[in-house]
Amino acid sequence: MSRIAVSAACVLLAVTPAAAQQTSGQQQTPQPPQALRYEEQVEVVAVTPVHGVGLAKLKVPANVQVFTLVPETGALPLDMASILSERAASVQIRDAHGGTFQPDVSFRGFMASPLLGASEGLAVYQNGVRINEPFGDTINWDALPVTAIASVNVMPGSNPLFGLNALGGALSIRTKSGFDVSGHRVTLSTGSFGRHLVEAESGGHGDRYGYYVAGTLTDEAGWRDFSPSTIRRLFGDFGWRADASSLNVSVTAASNDLTGTGAAPIDLLEQDRDAVFTYPDRTDHDLGLVNVRGTRQLSAQTWFEAVAYYRASRIGTFNGDAADADEDDEDDDDDGREFDAVNNISRTRGRGAGATAQLTRTGPLRGRDNHFIAGAGFDTATTRFDFAAELAELTPDRGTSGAGVFDEEAFVDLRARTLTVSAFATNTWSLTTKIAVTTSARFNRTTVRLRDQIGVALNGDHSFGRLNPAAGMTYQARPWLNVFASYSESSRVPTPVELTCADPADPCRLPNAFVSDPPLNQIVGRTWEAGLRGTSAPLEWSLAAFASQARDDIVFVSSGTLRGQGHFENVPRTRRRGIEASVEYSLATRMTLFGAYTLQQATFGAPLRMASRFHPEARLGEIQVRAGDRLPGVPRHSAKASLTARLTGRLSAALAAQAQSGQFLRGDEANLLPPLSAFLVINAQARHRLTKRLSAVLQAQNLFDAAFSTFGTLGDPSLLGDEFTDPRFFSPGAPRAMWVGLELQF
């Protein structure tokens, strides 16, 4: 179906008048907070980032996954990425940065990463606010306390309703409020890696007012050398509700000191898996987000919903690296000191604001159920980025000691401003009692304004616009069988960091020096999806096939001699195809079995030459990539399973396993080197209720101490000595660990 035809169908359904239909909802009695787990919810789904009035999940023509906090066993994960890795089909976690709180999340081969240089392809929302960083579309998973999360929607495909960057999917987070939680909880835990955690939440409400507050303090020494981190997170929500209106004001604050260790040569890891190649690698992240959400029921079938926000962030990095071997001689000072290292220092300060409003109408259309949403919004952000390179010397343990001398040619001071305005509409009409048809469209227009604060080399003005459509259908073939199919399109515009780092002849060093470059094209994602799903108590299952193509995908091409050095470029096409399946069996409250499997193939869709200086088969520093070669970092097979059981009235336990096949290394896009090895990791947790209010919690990670790696790249290991010649660098997974804690509820 053409884009014009889909858009026209959407408009025709949108303008058809709908008759009134009375809807009703039941408010659940708030329960005290308890131990929590993540369970798929099948009733309704929020089909836009502004959650609002949901649509029955069986009428959504995609394999949506919804996870909600409900009382159960065990301990909370450290971050939302861990929630997804445990339960969501087609989600894998990799640790490219080597930091506990800075993982990469891959969904159907598309990435949401905190690191500049990753090929970002997922949109992430918190209470209707897009939280991808405007400078590079990155995601900082460390900012939100897990305790405050009420539900997570995993929306697959190139869903246009979720705006920019939803090339392969979107994550929509809804937080708790005082009308969800009544009571107080405090958790203390300690254990491996020198990790100590204090976590608390409190909530309550009256007839019209409610409050909810949650906070986390985590401090750890880290399991690898020189890798301490401290996490401070706070969330608060204050709400008001009347018969036909509601208003919530929430605040998210974080001040985190993060340490990453990065990939290390495999020869070094064979000697000591705790070792790091060079250090330090520090990130300081401060965030403040104020969010205001309001709802007004205008009539029995019409709702108005709006979200407005202000967001301020500061990210500072200090990365110690070995110097480019070709520049060692140039970096000597007048005293004859040889500077064989460099400290890359960057600071990113951003402010953003925006608002989105939507109108929802429900009611019969020609005697059939109909659900229509239309809305518009804007987002604006200003970012100031500066960078400096300090010459340094390597210490005997490969740390760096700064000399106080800076490379004048490396200074960067850039001011970037982005503005996006959009309008969207979606309509779901029940053609018959068993068939529902959905059409959607969203128009985005984005401008990017770059101003060099040192000279004029980085100046640039760019604008991008596109109308993205979607259409799909669901068919309730049997009471226990639902069939769905859909087609969708979405787009992502080049970010400021990509636009200023796109020259292969003058590579930049992320997240640092930039050069003046030709503009990049925006990425357009197209996804076909079809599947089956069903519920027949006590069994729930789903099976889906998907095929996505990203035209003009933007990838970071490694070049130069330093880790993280390279440039961004458009590649004609990349493809992601696969099959995902999940099943859950619940036996009342006694036992739950869950399993998920994904077969996926992420490949380049056209031949190209890519820079890869350290590849042993490179010619003139380049490798030939063929159409069909697999994208690095995406395993072909992945599976996860869990068993949760209530063993006695006081004791409950859970066992979870995650497995995946090997993946190719960044820098080996031609698939010429052996991939990372496949691995299986098993985790366990248990909870024992000591008294009515006090429980003991035990959590074990990597129970059988598997030695595995989740990310690989190529580099120069000669810094370690002439005997180190293997260019493969791996990011090792964490070893066996255990934590114990006490949880008090009152």
Alpha carbon distances (Å) from 640 to 286, 595, 679: 34, 6, 12
Confidence band, pLDDT 50/70/90 cuts, at residue 203:
very high
Is pLDDT of 469 > 90?
A: yes
Q: Report CA Rg, the chain.
A: 25
Is pLDDT of 96 > 60?
A: yes
732 occurs within a structural domain = yes
Mean pLDDT over each residue of the chain, to the nearest integer: 87
| Alpha-helix runs per DSSP H in 372-469 | none
Q: How far apart are CA 68 and CA 37, in angstroms?
A: 8
pLDDT digits (tens, 9 = 90+) for 149-163: 999 999 999 999 999
pLDDT score at 260: 85
Section 142-147 average pLDDT: 88
618 occurs within a structural domain = yes
Angle at CA of residue 702, ends 701 and 705, nearest 5° = 135
Is pLDDT of 725 > 80?
A: yes
User: CB–CB of 18/372 below 8 Å?
Assistant: yes
Hey, which of 202-216, 314-328, 577-591 has the most confident mean pLDDT? 202-216
How far separated are the first and last CA of the chain, in Å rounded? 57
Query: Where residue 128 sits, what CATH number does that domain have?
Result: 2.40.170.20
pLDDT score at 6: 37
Section 42-67 average pLDDT: 88
Instruction: Return the closest-CA partner of residue 510 out of 522, 523, 496.
Output: 496
Section 599-622 average pLDDT: 91
481 occurs within a structural domain = yes
Confidence band, pLDDT 50/70/90 cuts, at residue 33:
very low
pLDDT score at 70: 55
Confidence band, pLDDT 50/70/90 cuts, at residue 98:
confident
542 occurs within a structural domain = yes
466 occurs within a structural domain = no
User: CB–CB of 625/609 below 8 Å?
Assistant: yes
Q: Which of 114-118, 146-150, 608-612 is predicted least confidently?
A: 114-118
334 occurs within a structural domain = no
Tokens 């096939």 appear where? 545
pLDDT score at 336: 59
Amino acid at 400: T
Is pLDDT of 327 > 60?
A: no
Please give the helix or strand (H or E) that residue 261 lies within, else none: none
pLDDT score at 8: 38
What is the total count of domains within the chain?
1
Q: Greater confidence, 364 or 325?
A: 364
Section 345-358 average pLDDT: 96
pLDDT digits (tens, 9 = 90+) for 440-465: 999 999 999 999 999 888 888 999 99
Query: In terms of residue numbers, what domain contains 217?
Result: 3-329+339-460+471-745
pTM, whole model, 2 decimals? Answer: 0.90
Is pLDDT of 191 > 60?
A: yes
Is pLDDT of 475 > 50?
A: yes
Q: How far apart are CA 307 and CA 143, in angstroms?
A: 20
Is pLDDT of 19 > 50?
A: no
Q: How far apart are CA 696 and CA 690, in angstroms?
A: 7
CA 341 to chain centre: 32
Q: For residue 430, what are its two tokens?
A: 């029940």
Q: Greater confidence, 96 or 597?
A: 597
Section 28-52 average pLDDT: 58
Q: For residue 43, what are its two tokens?
A: 């009733």
Section 471-475 average pLDDT: 98
Q: Which of 87-96, 172-181, 491-500, 649-658 is predicted least confidently?
A: 491-500
pLDDT above 70 covers what percent of the chain? 87
Section 275-303 average pLDDT: 95
pLDDT score at 726: 94
Q: Which of 289-293, 423-427, 502-506, 577-581 is predicted least confidently?
A: 502-506
pLDDT score at 537: 81
Please give the helix or strand (H or E) that residue 510 lies within, else none: none
pLDDT digits (tens, 9 = 90+) for 495-529: 888 887 766 666 665 444 444 345 689 999 999 99
pLDDT score at 370: 96
pLDDT score at 35: 36
pLDDT digits (tens, 9 = 90+) for 375-415: 999 999 999 999 999 999 999 999 999 999 999 888 989 99
Is pLDDT of 144 > 50?
A: yes
Is pLDDT of 26 > 80?
A: no
377 occurs within a structural domain = yes
pLDDT score at 566: 65
555 occurs within a structural domain = yes
